[in-house]
Structure formats: structure tokens, C-alpha cells
Amino acid sequence: MKPIVAIVGRPNVGKSTFFNRVTRKKDAIVDNFPGVTRDSIYRDAVWNDAQFTLVDTGGFMGGEDDDIISKVRFQVKEAVDNADVIIMMLDGKWGVSPFDHDIIGMLRTAGKQVFYVVNKIDGDEKEVNLYDFYNLGIENPYSVSAEHGYGVPDFLDDLVDQMPRVVYEKSRDMAKIAVIGRPNVGKSSLINRILGKERHIVSDIPGTTRDAVDSICEIKGKPYLLIDTAGIRRKGKVSKKIEKFSIIKALKSLDRCDVALIIIDASEGITEQDISVAGYAFERGCGCIFLLNKWDALEKGDNTRKILIDRLRYDAKFLNFAPAMVISAKTGHGVSKIFNLVEEVYSQYERRIGTGELNRIFEVAVKKTEPPLYKGRRLKFFYATQVSVKPPTFVCFVNFPEGVHFSYSRYLINQIRGGSGLDKTPVKIIFRKREGDRHKKK
């Protein structure tokens, strides 16, 4: 297993900027607003062929009476407990803070190897700012600028030299599951229920999760990557810059996921915003499962479940292939069944259909419903083949690709679903002219 390196420090010292530089991605939201990172974010990194997992944590500060701050402190402590090595990030621009003393006190009881890094040292002339930090009782602090890269390579050289090396082994493919929905529908609560611990901060304040946060878990012997995302708001409701960044992160999470768990607050019914969120998932071609959460808070009659799901089917016709179920992240109702559905959807999402079987399905479909005319000539389908998975994507060669109406395309997709068992996954068809026919046209 790769060594785990946790970055800790008070808010706005540059932890996320350092995290992004080392992982060479912009996964952590970076802004001058203190406390932007609340949850811990995990990403793999490599330096000098040494691999490790880097953890960006929320800003550690006082005020335990504040619910959010208290939970952030818990997250930081958990990250420290799980880490093999700690990077204590300090602010070379503003100097020593009382919170630095608190964090160092915590680290000294943790019994972990700690590297003290003074950030925002932009060059040799700022090295004098290091001297204040010796008052913290630390030795050999490293001076770096996470923003400009000053001192970072030298520090990473020392960091990886003191970590156990691991031999790279390609991990088996892992289904990536994004948990999406509008704010405060219970996304983080569901992940905490699945993981069995408060891996993510949960609060009744909408918008608590700002980054897309990953967790690896194993369910029934199979590994999954769970991606918790910031609540997706309607464009008109997004005003603060940081919320706009969060929505972008949520949408990017859909780009890299296999299956989206679309969480809906059943106690509030199906809203226009829920359908918008579902539309984002549909546009990105990922597998989808609707989870009607907060079932425990709903006044239920004999047909409540049917009424809810029928309304969902009516409003989200474009995702009529997506399974739907009721759950309660709070009580655990239905949660144990989610991954049975995830496995069904994922197995279809990565399935390949043999060319022979596929063309038999097309042959039967065309005989059952004759293709329409295009400019007075009958459409003729020659053959089809599958070109990719995730989602299953097929190319069908036809004499007039531009003449295939969307309604007939939808009919063919439904025939593929019925003939191959792909009833719970998105399916794509691309219509093309045969190569020989292209040359004839020229």
C-alpha cells in the first residue's frame, strides 16, 4: 500500500495550493477565503518514482462550540491518525499563530513523523521569515512557495527519501460512483452510512461539502471509489464565486464516474432542480440510479412509493432506463441494497455485445419496423458494430446517416436494450456512411 502523507495546518496557509502542485492537478479548490477546504481530499502523487497518497485537510482552528469547526477538527485528527507521514504547513507571510501551537501539540502526541514546511517564502530574501518559527520548538523547517514552486523540489526529495518505497502494481479496475444532488439532500450522510464512519462532514447547513471528495471502500469483496460532490444549484441561485467552483467540480466528477447516484429528498417531492441535476448526469453519459432519500421523514400511504416513482418517471423521461429506489441514509433503510443495483448498472455499462448478435438485433428491428424514407429513398442499414464501452456505444453504417430521424434512432436503441439485456445503462448509436459509399459520392 502507498504511504499516506497528510497536510495539516490552520486555514489559508496554502495547503490546497501545495496539494495541487504536488499532485499536478487542480482537484482542491483554492481561494483566499479562509476555510475553503472542509473535507479531507485524497490523491495519488509520484516524486522521483516514489508513489504516495497525499491528503489535503480542512483548516484546523479553535472554536469547538461551532459545529462545522468541531467536525473539521475531527476530520484533521482522523487524517493524522491514518497517515504515515505528516506535513505541518505554516504561513511564512503572516508568521506564527496560536493555532500553530495547538496543532503542534496534537502532532507531538500522535507519534508520527512530521515535516514542518513554512509556505509563502517566495525567494532567498524572504528566508529571514523562518526565524520566528523556531519559537515553536521545531527544528529544520523547510521554506517553500507552493504557488511559485520555490523550494518544493528540495523538500519533496527529502520527503520521499524518508518514506518506504513501493513497487507499482496496477490495481484492478474499480467502479467509480459519484453521489450527486442538490444541496442538503443527504449525499454526505449516505456516504457516511456506507462507509460506517463520519468520513465526510455532515451538517444541516446547505452547501457544507464544497469539493468533490473521494473515498475508497470495499463492498462484498469488490472495490469502489465513492465521489461525494458539492450540491448542484440552479445557475440563477449561484452567486458566490466559491459556489460556482464547487458546481464545476461536481460536473467534472460526473465526467470521471461510471455510475451516478442521484439523491432526491423524498420528503420534499420531485423538484425542477432534481430534474436539472439528473439532466447533467444524462448529458455526460454515465449510468444512473435514483435514490429517493429521507424516506423515514415522509408521511406514507399505501401508494406513496408508487406515486413518487411514477412522478419521477414522468418528469425524467430521458432517464427511463435508470433504476429508482427509496432509502433513508439516516436509518439505513434500503442502503444495503444500493450496491446490488450498482453492480447491475455497472456490469451493463461496461458490457460488450458480439457483432453477430448485434446485427441479428438490427435485422429483426428493421424487419419489424421499416426504416422511413429520406428524400424519396428508403434508408438502408448495412451493419453495426460496438466501438466502445462506458457507455456501450455502437456505430451503424447506413446509406444516409443524416436521414435517420431521432425517433427511429430511439427505436433502435430500445431494440438493442431489449435484445441484449442493456436495460439499465445509457446506450449510444452513431450513424455513419460506409467508406466505399463516401468515395462514390466524391
CATH number, position 135: 3.40.50.300
Predicted confidence band at 61 (pLDDT cuts at 50, 70, 90)?
Answer: low
Domain boundary among 134, 161, 188: 161
- Go through 405-442 and write b for each residue having 16 or more CB atoms within 10 A of its CB, e for each that does not: eeebeeebbebbbebbebebbbbebebebeeeeeeeee
427 vs 202: which has the higher pLDDT: 427
422 CA to centre of own chain? 24
Q: Is 170 within the bounds of a domain?
A: no
Cell match 464544497: residue? 210
Is 288 in the same domain as 320? yes
Is-contact 417 365, C-beta < 8 A?
A: no
Q: Is 125 within the bounds of a domain?
A: yes
- Residues 14-24: pLDDT tens digits? 888 899 899 88
Is 143 in the same domain as 252? no
CA distance to 120, 151, 327, per residue, from 147 (Å): 8, 11, 44
228, β-bridge pairs: 179, 213
Domain boundary among 139, 161, 183: 161
Cell readout for 360 is 441479428
- Rounded distance between C-alpha atoms, residue 200 and residue 40, angstroms: 8
Average pLDDT over residues 224-244: 57
pTM over 0.85: no
Is 153 in the same domain as 285? no
Is 221 in the same domain as 317? yes
Is 223 in the same domain as 318? yes
Range of the domain at 140: 4-161
Q: Is 166 within the bounds of a domain?
A: no
Cβ neighbours of residue 266 closer than 8 Å, sequence gap 6 or more:
292, 293, 294, 295, 297, 298, 308, 326
Q: Is 169 within the bounds of a domain?
A: no
115 CA to centre of own chain? 30
Q: What confidence score (pLDDT) does residue 392 get?
A: 96
Q: Is 431 within the bounds of a domain?
A: yes
| pLDDT surpassing 50 at residue 424 | yes
Is-contact 303 338, C-beta < 8 A?
A: no
Q: Which of 35-44, 57-66, 150-159, 196-205 has the lowest mean pLDDT?
A: 196-205
Cell readout for 289 is 440510479
Is 180 in the same domain as 142? no
Predicted confidence band at 166 (pLDDT cuts at 50, 70, 90)?
Answer: low
Is 313 in the same domain as 184? yes
Q: What confidence score (pLDDT) does residue 51 get?
A: 85
Is 133 in the same domain as 16? yes
Q: What confidence score (pLDDT) does residue 37 get?
A: 41
Domain boundary among 349, 372, 388: 349
